[in-house]
Amino acid sequence: MIVYLDQNYASRIAKHLLGLPHHAHFGVVWEALQAANVLAPPSPFHVLELHGGYLAPVFERIFAALGDGLWVRPWQEVLYRQYRRDGIWLEDCLGREGGWDRPADLAPLWGLMDLELEGTFVARTAQVTEIVTRWLGLKGPRARTLPFVQVLARLVALHSLEATRRPRLSDLVDLVMAATLRPYVSVLATDRYLKEALTRLGYGQGVYSGRRREVLRLAADLARGAWEGGSSRD
């Protein structure tokens, strides 16, 4: 079973391991992750958001225990592997190459969150789809059906409709991460906003937020093997 701990979750676990207050419930999920039959690899997104800070050594410890030496491939590689063949194959997402000095490169998608989109959600999704495929050099009708493109376009379109949400520098990282990982993982542990967005778009199975009750629910679900064998529930 593949679990992805985004920066929010991994940071809270790391802070618990450092003995910082207010993170005890993440200690519960840390124990559950170690006891369960799960694989939780690190990714270039972690490296990008860590900036080599004080949590970096603890991240290395966490993912050495949970990742079995595997890494999430760079998002570009995951996307182009999807483009070259049909279906969702785990080896297209995970590999042995990677390192704590190799951050994600989001330069090809800079400006995506600043697009002036118009119309309904469906219209905006179509606009983002066309722009993303053009920017990334993906040609042909099949490009629009790639899981990465579909998830990213819908997330960006939804985000553009939320006029009251204050923009964050990490928004692009979060959406590209979700587009990369959501098709492949049984469990995605992330923040409240992304959990709610994915749920609204129909991608909410196995997604948990960092709210205390959801963290404890994730720990309980891991303990009882709720996601073993690829089973899922929202």
pLDDT for 233: 31
Res. 102: pLDDT tops 80: yes
Over the stretch 177-224, which tens digit does the pLDDT of each residue have? 999 999 999 999 999 999 999 999 999 999 999 999 999 999 999 998
Helix, strand or coil, per DSSP, at residue 224: coil
| pTM score of the predicted model | 0.93
Over the stretch 49-84, which tens digit does the pLDDT of each residue have? 998 789 999 999 999 999 999 999 999 999 999 999
Cβ partners under 8 Å of residue 84, min gap 6:
none
Written as one string, the DSSP assignment of 83-122 is: HHSSS--GGGTEES---TT-----GGGTTGGG----SSHH
Map tokens 């570009």 to a residue.
76
Using CA atoms, how far apart are residues 199 and 202, in angstroms rounded to an integer? 5
Over the stretch 3-52, which tens digit does the pLDDT of each residue have? 999 999 999 999 999 988 888 899 999 999 999 989 999 999 999 999 87
pLDDT for 21: 82
